[in-house]
Amino acid sequence: MSPERPYELAHLGHIELFTPKPDESLHFFVNVLGLTESGREGDSVYLRGWDDYEFHTLKLTAAKQSGLGHLAFRANSPEALERRAKKLESMGRGIGWVDGDMGHGKAYRATDPDGHIFEIYYETRWYEAPPELKPALKNQAMRFPARGCNARRLDHLNLLVLDVAATREFLTDGLHMRNTERIMLDDGTEAGSWMTTTNKTYDIAFTLDHTGVAGRFHHVTYALDSREDILRAADVFLENGVFIETGPHKHAVQQTFFLYVWEPGGNRVELANAGARLMLAPDWKPIIWTQAERAKGQAWGLKTVESFHTHGTPPVA
């Protein structure tokens, strides 16, 4: 970030996930992951973590297939929203304005090169806890649920894309994000990139989809307070028969402590903890990981599971 070119987006706001098993998925997100329902409308249920300040961070929508409905970033101001809309339109990426839904006001929609739908909005609905969910401390959105994994707040999402470099450039130019880390294969292909619009070291990431199918979704991540919370979540997933794909372990890239599972609808969900790691330098230079470095696996030597490179939603026929 440079004040000469400040961030225009405040943070990842929410994502919409499609599920072909809406009842099972809802049970997973509420009773296992520990999210709380704040509303429902049509085929969608609105959900949030106990520290999410907005009405929702997850819109769960019944659909024929799993996958991402859309993702949304909140702009820093009404003016920033207007500027981004104009820029996205000028880049030929614009879809147009929508009225918003239960959780926020008007939003501008655009697509990344893969066709994933990005939504930018400013006007939002702050969550108001009903009496039985009022927190003991007034600087907290909702009381701690003490249920399931107690997912705290939305952290980031990860897309599968056909062209990582093009996606990175779209986010840099169109949305003023910054690249913090990336993977470069020996043949010059960019295999993955991590972007931020905050002091977190990433708010969105995207990795190469080897299937050749555009617009797929890799995972969404909720943050927990400690690595111990992640380990306990693994116990909770185990007890509930949730498929644990990989982890808990520590990523070499970004050093995040991770745990990946598949919710009943097929979408991959991550719980993560970053410790006290932040990106504070305004002139951070992206870390470039080579193919050889990536071949070493995760931080403590765990090999990346094969499905991590192939499983995305919707599934490929």
The CB-of-162 to a second copy minimum distance in angstroms stands at 26
CA dist., res. 134 & res. 31, Å (int): 19
Q: Please report how close the Cβ of residue 214 comes to a second copy at its closest, in angstroms.
A: 30
Among 113, 211, 231, 304, binds a second copy (CB under 8 A): 231
Minimum Å gap between C-beta 143 and a second copy is 5
Alpha carbons 56 and 45: distance in angstroms, whole number: 9
Residue 189 interacts with a second copy (CB under 8 A): yes or no? no
Specify the stretch interacting with a second copy by CB under 8 A; choose among 60-68, 101-109, 147-155, 182-190.
147-155
Stretch that binds a second copy, among 109-117, 184-192, 295-303, 309-317 (CB under 8 A): 295-303
Please give the order of strands across the beta sheet that includes 153-161: 243-250, 257-262, 268-273, 217-223, 153-161, 204-208, 190-196, 178-184, 287-290
CA distance 212 to 194: 21
Footprint of a second copy on 74-103 (CB under 8 A): 74-77, 79-80, 83
Question: Cα–Cα distances in Å, from 29 out to 32, 45, 148, 184?
Answer: 6, 11, 9, 35
C-beta atoms surrounding 169 within 10 Å: 14
- Window contacting a second copy (CB under 8 A); options: 38-46, 131-139, 162-170, 213-221: 131-139
Residue nearer to a second copy on the CB measure, 207 or 254: 254
CB atoms within 10 A of CB 165: 16
Distance separating alpha carbons of residues 29 and 123, to the nearest angstrom: 26
Binders of a second copy among residues 204 to 223 (CB under 8 A) are 223
Tokens of 253: 């890239």
Select the span of 58-66, 105-113, 269-277, 309-317 touching a second copy (CB under 8 A).
Answer: 269-277
Residue in 238, 291, 307, 310 binding a second copy, rule: CB under 8 A: 238
d(CA 120, CA 72): 6
One of 155, 163, 209, 263 touching a second copy (CB under 8 A)? 155
Q: Which of residues 44-63 bind a second copy (CB under 8 A)?
A: 51, 53
Total site size for a second copy, rule CB under 8 A: 81
